[in-house]
Chain A
Amino acid sequence: MVFKRKDLLGMEDLSKEEILFILKTAESFREVLERPIRKVPTLRGKTVVNLFFEPSTRTRMSFELAEKRLNADVLNFSSSNSSVIKGETLLDTARNILAMKVDCLVLRHPTPGAPHLLAKKLPVSVINAGDGAHEHPTQALLDLYTIRERKGGVEGLKIVIIGDIAHSRVARSNIWALQKLGAEVRVCAPPTLIPPLIEKMGVKVFYSQEDALKEVDIVMMLRIQKERQNTGLLPSLSEYIELFSLTEERLGLAKDDALIMHPGPVNRGIELPAKLADGKRSVILNQVTNGVAVRMAVLYLLLGKS
């Protein structure tokens, strides 16, 4: 197949074939990361700007590494020390950066749809690195990659996503992506953290972990943002831990070879205890490694042509 897209904006509009093609391409880049020299000359002469309007460690570093491993030139921009605080609009900021001859923008922005706006208005490739609570496509791709690596495929697997579904772009991207590849997706959270009408996305909703975990192949934990404690959505953190923290006992309800995933950053003792986060079921750090390979594949597919 031929990958014709200019941008990677979300999992919702990618076809199953496109997703599988990206994952297949990522396998080759995963191998590059194991070489003595973990760098290839592929994007020599291309310039990528990482535009981050929200804090991020993992995603920004992962993109930057992916870009550098492909030999692209990299510029990092974070909104905290820029003209944004002087009132420059997103589009103006982007246009000014492009005036310096840039080939690709990697954008993280608190507003859903911000990357779509730039993609529409600008001639360069735009990669969505997270837009509000909307999408985080490269996270879903690295999750799929990790699942396929461990389970051989995604089709027919039962996967539960536990945590703050309502505010999670990771959940949304994963729900679309996993279902396209034929998985059964469950979501589990207190009712206040389940967005209305989520069933329309084709997922099964659970309010109790005991029911949700039965016979699942993958347990995907989401970070609980401690800030939300004071918004009335969580009665108390200790109640959440009591009911929704993953325990060894609860994990016993899942399949014997069930894997634990987490997009990070992990709140040890809240989403899951340290023992499980570091245990042999956990693939959390594999996800991080695979993230670099998946992002290299996306950058190559968008930029590795004239």
Chain B
Amino acid sequence: MAKLMDKDEIRRSLLRLSHQILEKNREIEDLVVVGIHRRGVTLAERISKMIEEIKGKKLPTGTLDITLYRDDLTRIAYQPVVRNTNILFPIDDKKVILVDDVLYTGRTVRAAIDALIDFGRPKKIELAVLIDRGHRELPIRADYVGKNIPTSPEEMVEVRVEELDGTDEVLILKRT
């Protein structure tokens, strides 16, 4: 097990992501943020807060659960817990910043895009992730990356956040 990022590095990464998002999207009127359960939700809230501190305006921020859109429900023994999706604003013609903790195979993001499109027709969807660990199985890439980490498939990248895990850190673990 090795620690890849500590609390301060995570904070600086997210701040940089927030600035990059604002650089690319000068008009924030039609910008909304959606986090993917569970760690993505926490990170989305933090990015949203950082943008608020920079711009003085709170972006509409929602949560998305992708369980119902998974492509492996017929292959797993026990189904995952369905969590609440909370997008209480229209996303039609908006620019959606989709946030997740780790980008890996790309299957979660594929499911998230399908789910978002059931809520409306956004003008654009952009993807922001804290970690890109490679090994994509679908033609998907992130627009904003906190840190690129080369990994092997035998490894697991675990993002821990204070709100859920009591501490802020990114770890790399061997799969057991």
Contacts and interface: CB of A to CB of B under 8 A. Distances in A.
Interface string A2-35: 1110000000000000000000010111011001
B114 A41 contact: yes
| Most chain A CB within a 10 A radius of its CB, from B65, B68, B114 | B68
A152 interface: no
B172 to A, nearest CB: 28
B73 interface: yes
A31 B85 contact: yes
A305 B76 CA distance: 6
Contact of A306 (B67, B74, B82): B74
A297 B68 CA distance: 11
A3 B78 CA distance: 8
A41 B74 CA distance: 12
B152 interface: no
Interface in B77-123: 77-79, 81-86, 114-115, 118-120
A184 B167 CA distance: 43
A45 B72 CA distance: 12
A249 to B, nearest CB: 41
Contacts of B119: 35-37
A36 B120 contact: yes
Nearest to B114: A41
A306 B75 contact: yes
B76 A31 contact: no
A37 B73 CA distance: 21
Contacts of B82: 25, 28-29, 297, 300
A103 to B, nearest CB: 10
A252 interface: no
Query: Size class of A's contact patch?
Result: 20 to 34
Given A2-B78, A301-B79, A41 B68 contact: yes
A301 B81 CA distance: 9
Given A39-B118, A40-B118, A42-B68, A304 B81 contact: no
Contact of A305 (B68, B77, B81): B77
A306 B83 CA distance: 20
Looking at B82, B114, B115, which has the most chain A CB atoms within 10 Å of its CB? B82
A2 to B, nearest CB: 5
Contacts of A41: 68-69, 114
A44 to B, nearest CB: 9
A31 B78 CA distance: 23
Interface in A65-87: 70
Interface string A288-306: 0000000001001100111
A127 to B, nearest CB: 16
A41 B68 CA distance: 7
Contact of B65 (A28, A36, A45): A28
Contacts of A304: 73, 79
Nearest to B83: A28
A152 to B, nearest CB: 16
Task: Point out which of B69, B76, B118, B119 has the most chain A C-beta atoms below 10 A from its C-beta.
Answer: B118
A305 B85 contact: no
Contacts of A3: 78-79
16 contacts: A28-B67, A28-B84, A28-B85, A31-B84, A37-B119, A40-B69, A40-B118, A41-B68, A42-B67, A42-B68, A42-B69, A45-B74, A305-B73, A305-B77, A305-B78, A305-B79
Interface of A: 2-4, 25, 27-29, 31-32, 35-37, 39-42, 45, 70, 297, 300-301, 304-306
- Across the A-B interface, the 6 shortest Cβ-Cβ residue pairs: A40-B68, A304-B79, A37-B118, A28-B82, A42-B68, A305-B79
